Structure 1
Amino acid sequence: MKKTLKIKTYKKKYRKLNQNKIILLFTGVIIILSNSCAEKKINPYPKNISAKLMEYILEIKNKNSLVKPLKGTGFLEIYSEKGLNTYNLAFASDGQKKFRIEILAPTGLPVLKIAFDGKKIYFSENNSKVKSYKKPEKILKKFLGFKIKPEILAFLLTGKTPLIEYDSGFVDIKNNLRELVLFNSLKKVSEKIIYSQPQNFKQIIFYKDNKKKYFINIKKNRAFVISSIKNNARITFFKSFSMEIKNINNNKLFILTR
């Protein structure tokens, strides 16, 4: 009996030792991976970026740093076979991570509220109980019609230019157009930023796996419109009282005034 008890206690100790080794090894791997990922994100000066492109990137970052929190109004547009439905909205953003958007009824009262605190997204419809979600992109897709990271939306609401990933890239200048093409570490296009100098117009196009996801048009730093490539939903935020919008489906030009 004593021998069998000794064998059992030895087996238990051996199992615990093995479990501890596995936990330590697993923790070590996670730390190494997280450190490597953090270094990849933190590096602001990739080796593959030319001096000219880096000059433009630093110019964008400098302008972003001068932007302050902002409140404003705008429209949410849903285009269907019946026509274009437009809803008033109000927004506020700190320009970093946090934002709040409210869709307004004709009376001016909010019928839908959506907010992001940097971690969770909060959603309420017709003054119903506020629900929180850990996956903000899914809720934003329901709200906008396409996926967008909440941090990018917070940037855009205050007029900042998001820089997703730039492991390499190039600058193309033709006539009055200046185009910045940025690639990720997998050598795939992540973003294009196009400037038109005389009209003071800027277009930012976001890519995933070399395919266009959505784009943003900004005119005279007064307003911008986010448009999806495949879907019909558009959301337009105003800092001023007018904005030109292209309809994705048939390329008609809508002039919205306020």
Structure 2
Amino acid sequence: LKEPFPSELLPFVFEKLPEILSTVSSTGVNQIRREFSDTLIFNGLYEQTFHWDGSYYTALGLGAYLGAEGILCRGANKVQLENLAKIHWPENKKLKISQNREELTGKVLCIQDDFEECQESRKEPENGEDIWKLEDKLLGVLYLNSRKNYQMYQPGEKEKFFQMVPVSIREGSSAHTLYFYPAREEVRKMAERFISSQSQEDTSVPVSIEELTDSQIQIRMLEGILAATEKRLTEYIKTEKELRRELELVTQGKQFQ
């Protein structure tokens, strides 16, 4: 439907109703939700983050493979993760998704994304160091890097960055790289097996994972460092210009006093 359409008339549009109704606003479908077997209610942020369903889907797949029982959601769309988990998380495995690490028990995968709307609601430090207090429970941190802010890399931390496992996903003609920082070597090996197993599965699925050679991994990581460095330089230049402009205004103000 390209034009605005009354939601209460939607049941009359289909010859056979879909089983699941999905929406970003529960109030818009309250009158018709009983017509469907199930509903997925997203939030307003999903209008921005739906582009990265493939990343969230891959994150859940990795979490299930690693045996995670909890997901620590930092800077990611929690509602999006929860709704996709209803569809893609194995029924025989328990899962709790929270923005508070104290609510999680068992093995935990931290999923980090760069949406400010979510980050503002966090009370934990931005640098993420506190999550390592989970000790043996933490499997690692998966950086979705949706907005390409490259939170996982800081200047001078090349060695740390190269300890990460790149997860190359493809949706149609577009490709994107997630970065996984494993807490332990055995978790790294499991993540690598996950990538290998997924790359050999049905290639007709919307989201596919590409298994990279050693040289491709090195190239992908160097490309990540270059992109992160360019991002930081752009931010520094912008900050410098703002500070110089502010300094000029203050200096001019003193001259007229």
State if a TM-score over 0.5 links the two structures: no
Larger Rg: 1
Question: What TM-score results when the alignment is normalised by the length of structure 1?
Answer: 0.30
Indicate the structure with greater helix content: 2
Q: Which has the higher strand share?
A: 1
TM-score by length of 2: 0.30
